A and B are shown apart, each in its own frame.
Chain A
Amino acid sequence: MKKILIFLLMVCLISCKDALVEAPKSVAVETFYNTAEEVQTAVNAIYTPLKSTTSLGGLYFALQEALTDYSYGRGSYGIVSEFQGLDGTNITRTGQIWDNLYLAIRNANLVIANAPKGKDISQTDITKTVAEAKFLRAFTYFILVRNWGGVILRTEGNMTALDVPRSSEADIYTQIIKDLTVAETNLPPTVPVSGHPTKWSAKTLLADVYFYQGKYKEARDKADEVIKSNVYKLVDVTVSEDFQKIYGPNVINTTEEIFYLKYNQTQGWQGPHFAHHPGAPYYNRAGFFAHYTDNQKNPVYKNWDNRDLRKEHDWYIWNIGLGNTTLLNRKYRDPQRTAFAANDYPLYRYADLLLLYAEADARANNAPTVDAMLKLNMVHRRAYGRNPNAPSEFDFVLGNYNLNSFVDLVLKERGYETQYEGKRWLDLKRTGRVKEIIKATVGKDVADTHLLWPIPVSEMNFNPALDPQKDQNPGY
């Protein structure tokens, strides 16, 4: 018995020695990024914070759609549509968006920094995955710079530093263009699975970046490269329901898709959740109805040609307690939804690019051109159920427009074409006409404060390089 006891004691003393070393069944930063497959999963992780409901997949989208000339925010988004600066609730929301965007940037930086050090990855795969990470980093900074102005520039070089000051908008754009130049060169022309960027996605994004900066010639040229590639084609529409071939929940990809955030039944998009009323038949008994328009009070809707198939497709009358003239958006429908909607978020569509080309080309030439008018008419014809490539009775006629009226016309068309895609506010800001157009449509004066979102507390309080007095955006 005694011997047994001593033996037991010894066994334990020996076996317990290594027990304090942690050996989780998981991977760590220091040991990952070695194979092409590992690096690709790290690239995939850049998308997660972008698609999150507290980012582009929800709050960002809902905020942008409360900042339009064609509709109004409701509930907690109502105050956003007052255009007087954000309240606490919405400041919190922009803070969450900021956090997510920088999470995406961190994940991109991790790939850019670590992929070249991989032990078992080919140069081709390094080039490709780094290009995708740079595309996404540029995309993210482009969102940041347009909504916050000059932000904190974090690349693989300073990704661990605590104190990084705000950069100028110009510096951010320089970085974006640098990244996209790599991306348009190194990304493949086609991808096996939609949702990853191609070189054409990179060129489209680059065109949009130039466009926003007023570099119309460069924008036009990049857009032209994409158009001339003949990779994309507008989806044909004859009746309004045909638009579901573009936006519907079961569409996997279309000839019009340049770069989308992809969702499915398991991982749905929250965007449509903001549109619908639980009683309506489009979203399986749920919805925030956070945005609405009014067929009497809103001039954009009221003056919209009824023959335009988009009008019927995009909006439905639903009484949310404000009377029978209220309409909710139904561009995205998923009556069978289980989680959020299976519809994809169309970030860059071919129609969008055509309109970009039309405006950029006209501006680059200081007058509307035949080419510019053709691109505008392609989108316009399709909206009326006509073949985009054949003249129709709805065509605009070049001779009726000078540069200003043409630019107005494109901006108006864009306003119809990209409704509920989170684009309108940035378009209005880009053209410098945001105050004028909002006043003319919604009837509100846009405060200067409203033009940029505040640097969130999560950054301002904890970044030693920032001074809350000097570095905050105006009005916050």
Chain B
Amino acid sequence: MKKLILSLLFFVAVQTPVFSQGVTVSGKVTDSGSEPLPGVTVTVAGSTVRTSTDAAGNYSILVPSEGATLVFTYIGFVPKTIPTRGQSTINVQLETDSRQLDELVVVGYGTVRKSDLTGSVSQVKGAEINAFPSSSLVQALSGRASGVQVKQNTGAPGAPASIRIRGTNSIQGSNEPLYVVDGFPMGSAPALLNNSDIESIEILKDASATAIYGSRGANGVILVTTKKGKAGRTTVDIESTFSIQQLRKKLELMNATEYATFYNRVAANDNFPARFTQAEIDAAGEGFDWQDFTFRNAPMQNHNITIGGGNEKTKFSVGGSVFNQDGIIKSSGYDRYSVRASIAHTLSDKFSVDYNVTLSRLRRDDQPSNGGDRGNSLISGTVAAYPTVTPFNPDGSYRILSTAYSWGSNSIVSPINYLNETTNITRSNRILANASVVYKPIPELAIRIMGGIENADDRFDGYTTLKYLASPGRESVSSDESLSLLNENTITYSKSFNKHSLTAVGGFTFQNFTNTSISGSGTGFLTDVTESYNLGAAETPGIPQSDYSLSAVTSYLSRVNYGFNNKYLLTLSMRADGSSRYTEGNKWGYFPSGALAWRISEEEFIKNAEWISDLKLRTGWGRTGSQAISPYTTLNQLTSGKTVFGDALYTTFAPGTRLPGDLRWETTETLDFGIDAGIFNNRLRLTGDYYIKNTTDLLNTVSLPSSLGFTNTIQNIGSIRNQGFELSVDANVFNKSFQWDVSGNIAFNKNTVTKLYGGKDVLGSSYNITLVNDVVNILREGEPLGAFFGYTENGYDANGKIQYVDTNNDGLINSFDKTIIGDPNPDFIFGLSSSMEYKGFNLSMFFQGSVGNDLMNLSAVNYTLDYGYGLNMPREVFLNHWTPQNVSSKYPVPSRTVSSLVSNRFVENGTYVRLRDIQLGYTIPFSKWGVRGINSAQLFVSGQNLLTITDYSWWDPDVNSKGGSNSVNQGIDHHTYPTAKTYTIGIRAGL
């Protein structure tokens, strides 16, 4: 290193005639705590002479003898400018700056200074991601960045949440963003990372930022950077939390007395004899509480340790973590054990290597809790179960609810069957590893070759015991292996000259994805001892399956960042993607982008306005794509099956019902206008963006006449527009001994379906919950995606039955009377956080919410109207149903003859505001007490989801039962694993 500096100095001395003579200035750079700072850049102002500090913070630099000004810069610190004034020793103390403008932001295939950003990029710090225990980074992102909507599909531990960045683009394809971890584009959200492993997350939102990811950029890109070692002292960070979770909200259901009374009313209305005698009603009392039976208080704990350090040549970071979450429903839970390492080494001034690896073991225990009707799933059974009976017969055996009352539901299954007699375990081994070599033939040019592997081995074990209702013992196992190999080769050239600065990236990348799976099943077992580990013992073996797919993406990419005088910034990028999934001639897609930014604050006319510390206008345009189809979709494949002849199975081969067609990319074009501003010395910072995003060539199912045998085909038809405005504000309100930081973000997005095939509506999935069997969501031109579609109620008839509005006045109530009855898309979403600090005490609060969206409460269809099956229901049904005296009741006459349609009755306001986290911490002042070796130690107590303000009647408004990557069937609550609230204590310590 010293040699390098010397030769550099020599080089400079010889080559730069300005410095005909010079003197050496040396010194030490430290932080505010007098710790040495290695790697600080020391520059002679107005020249190219620069050096950096060594591990001990020392530097030495040759300056012109007539005197010069030294500039000390270091990421995360306020730069300092010091005139030499003939001194030969200059020691410098740098102040930390959490709002550093010059901090680097990771963008695709490189980094840029935050001040040089031309696109719309949100950054979320590791500390925010790890502020409170959550099972995934996706959940932790909720409310943290503007325009990023996190939808918790279910409250089940480890269940994937879904993210929509600036609305929903695709109908058939995935709407999830691309996740890139340390440069590796992942197939799905990186479940293998513990939140404590994350240094920062950058969310690329507009196309000028995402176009560099081409065919995978349309839904936004989430760049995850894991923790890296820094040169200097080795640091150890330890964190431990313990939490207790409990059901956030219990439904208020009828007790046994009310239940018995209610079903006698139903019987009387239907001219059946009374179901319960007066004596039985009198003895019923409160009855059995099935919610208390199904839900429990469950522990959660999270422990992690990160050790990092190194010198200028070698830096390392090693982390390990344990995350154990038990679900609030028995035998559900999520565990993760992960180990991570990152090593960077500089071989010489021309070569450096970099290696990152994460290994994880995941275990997810699921309860098949979702959906159903009349009590035939765990959640629906917990609500419906009769409060007049207990789970057990007098002899201790399980009570069979479906035969408990002859007038009751024939499909209700006692929750105890699921809780005690079913297991669904997925165990996964995940690896993400990548290594890169950088070669710099000249300082301005970096050639980088990167190779990476992502591997997931998942094994599923499902078993239903002999004790389960009418079960002969059922076993199913499957094993899936997904492997992705990546190779990226990029060349980066950066140079600054005069007032120009230029960075250019070009590259070639290749990634492939192999999936193989195998599964087997069987029914009929003699004993439960073998669980799912003896398929061979099955009386009736199922048909084993195996599957294979391989797809690949080959890409060429390039980007130019050009800046003039630090005022005018230009970014141009282009990516060409070739995908194996499309037909010949449609395989290649081209994704250009361009962006301009103007840093007004650098202009002379505004430099005088001292209160403006930063002001930048941005605009960008870009085109991105979405692959949207699975491998082999365009091929006319035959699928195999089995059918019975005699008493045995024989193989069948036939095409599916979807006629393959020529397909190409879905294309999304985004136009973005943005402003970044910092005022009062950057104590108040805001970023605002307005965007218009048009997605065209949407893959759409086109129906064919079903007599063709093929019922549909896919074509590139249809378009969707998302436009919106988003704003984020960070304010440092007080920064003396009392510190108060507030930050908030808000995002408005309006989604419109602009074109569909032949202008025809596309209906969402049909849900059969017996009382109704109909679609809930619709795509219609001019309407938002997934709008609720159904009938409108029109009071009760003379008998207390529900009437509907005959919207087309044809005298009939049929599907032509359906209209749009709700919108699952919010008007706006927001996040608001506050952090106060005083004398070692820290109080932080984090609110998050969604306003103006509707929810379709499918759970309520059976559980407020299906009176013929003895289902338990909310107390409100008992208290407020139609009688000849109460004709304006909320619910109709309780009678088995009540029928229902999908109507506005079930559309509820899904608006909510949630206190996602509140935390009180105390930093123990070890340094004040003279205790050495402990840098920091904080004890804290916190609570998650302690407060939720909403009008929604069922478990939880943050729900999306049929959600996931699909975009049509949104905003539905259908007996979903409810959300928990959590109490946490924890400690964070740095050594």
Contact = CB atoms under 8 A, between A and B. Distances in A.
Contact of A462 (B449, B469, B508, B704): B704
5 nearest CB pairs, A to B: A106-B709, A285-B470, A45-B654, A463-B705, A195-B645
Interface string B255-296: 000000000000000001000000000000000000000000
Contacts of B773: 76, 88-89, 92
B549 to A, nearest CB: 7
B647 A264 contact: yes
Contacts of A196: 645
Nearest to A105: B709
Interface string B535-547: 0000111110000
B635 interface: yes
A152 interface: yes
A45 B641 contact: yes
Contacts of B550: 23
B706 A107 contact: no
A99 B711 contact: yes
Interface string B421-449: 00000000000000001010000000101
A27 B657 CA distance: 16
B523 interface: yes
Interface in B697-712: 703-711
Nearest to A163: B705
B637 A284 contact: no
Contacts of A151: 707
14 contacts: A1-B351, A2-B439, A5-B449, A41-B653, A48-B652, A95-B706, A102-B707, A106-B708, A110-B655, A152-B705, A264-B644, A267-B643, A288-B410, A338-B540
Contacts of B351: 1
B580 A285 contact: no
Interface string B381-412: 00000000000000000001011001100110
Nearest to B538: A338
Nearest to A103: B709
A257 to B, nearest CB: 11
A194 B645 contact: yes
Nearest to B516: A25
A47 B540 contact: no
Given A24-B635, A24-B637, A339 B523 contact: yes
B700 to A, nearest CB: 14
B759 interface: no
Interface stretch (A6-14, A65-73, A364-372): A6-14
Contact of A51 (B510, B643, B646): B643
Interface stretch (A225-233, A301-309, A346-354, A453-461): A453-461
Contact of A41 (B489, B651, B815): B651
A439 to B, nearest CB: 24
A226 B646 CA distance: 21
A338 B706 CA distance: 33
B587 interface: yes
Given A162-B704, A278-B402, A339-B523, A21 B632 contact: no
A285 B640 CA distance: 32
Interface of A: 1-2, 5, 8-9, 12-13, 16, 19-30, 32, 38, 41-42, 44-45, 47-48, 51, 75-76, 88-89, 92, 95, 98-99, 102-103, 105-107, 109-110, 151-152, 154, 159-160, 162-164, 193-196, 252-253, 262-267, 277-279, 284-289, 319-321, 336, 338-339, 456, 458-459, 461-463, 466
Nearest to A9: B489
Contacts of A289: 410
B410 A19 contact: no
A390 to B, nearest CB: 32
Contacts of A102: 706-709
A110 B655 CA distance: 10
Contacts of A13: 508
Nearest to B402: A278
A152 B706 CA distance: 10
A210 B439 CA distance: 85
A321 B870 CA distance: 11
B886 interface: no
B554 A16 contact: yes
B680 interface: no
Interface string B646-667: 1111111111010000000000
A182 B706 CA distance: 27
Contact of A458 (B510, B524, B705, B868): B705
B580 A5 contact: no
Interface centre among B524, B580, B705 (most CB of A within 10 A): B705
A395 to B, nearest CB: 36
B552 to A, nearest CB: 4
B636 interface: yes
B439 A5 contact: yes
Contacts of B705: 152, 162-164, 458-459, 462-463, 466
Nearest to B347: A1
Contacts of B654: 42, 45, 48, 107, 110
B720 to A, nearest CB: 23
B936 interface: no
A162 B523 contact: no
A75 B768 CA distance: 13
Give the bracket for the number of chain B residues in contact with chain A.
35 or more
A29 B638 contact: yes
A213 B592 CA distance: 68
A338 B524 contact: yes
Contact of A193 (B410, B487, B645, B708): B645
A20 B644 contact: no
Given A20-B580, A103-B709, A320-B406, A262 B540 contact: no
Contacts of B707: 98, 102, 105, 151-152, 154, 164, 459, 463
Given A23-B550, A154-B709, A195-B645, 5 more contacts: A44-B643, A107-B709, A266-B649, A285-B470, A463-B707
B652 A47 contact: yes
B912 to A, nearest CB: 34
Given A5-B439, A162-B705, A321-B406, A29 B636 contact: yes
Contacts of A287: 410
Contacts of B400: 285
Given A22-B635, A103-B657, A279-B402, A195 B709 contact: no
A321 B402 CA distance: 13
B770 interface: yes
Contact of A321 (B407, B581, B637, B706): B407
B631 interface: yes
Nearest to B634: A22
Given A29-B636, A105-B709, A9 B449 contact: yes
Contact of B554 (A20, A162, A286): A20
Given A12-B487, A267-B642, A462-B703, A24 B549 contact: yes
Interface string B488-515: 0100000000000000000010101000
A28 B512 contact: no
Interface centre among A25, A30, A162, A263 (most CB of B within 10 A): A25
B548 interface: yes
B406 A458 contact: no
A278 B411 contact: yes
B318 to A, nearest CB: 27
B587 A20 contact: yes
A263 B570 CA distance: 69
Contact of B410 (A32, A194, A267, A278): A278
Interface centre among A9, A16, A99, A458 (most CB of B within 10 A): A16
B509 to A, nearest CB: 9
Interface string B703-739: 1111111110000000000000000000000000000
B540 A265 contact: yes
Nearest to B637: A26
Contacts of A466: 705
A154 B705 CA distance: 12
A106 B549 CA distance: 27
Contacts of B27: none
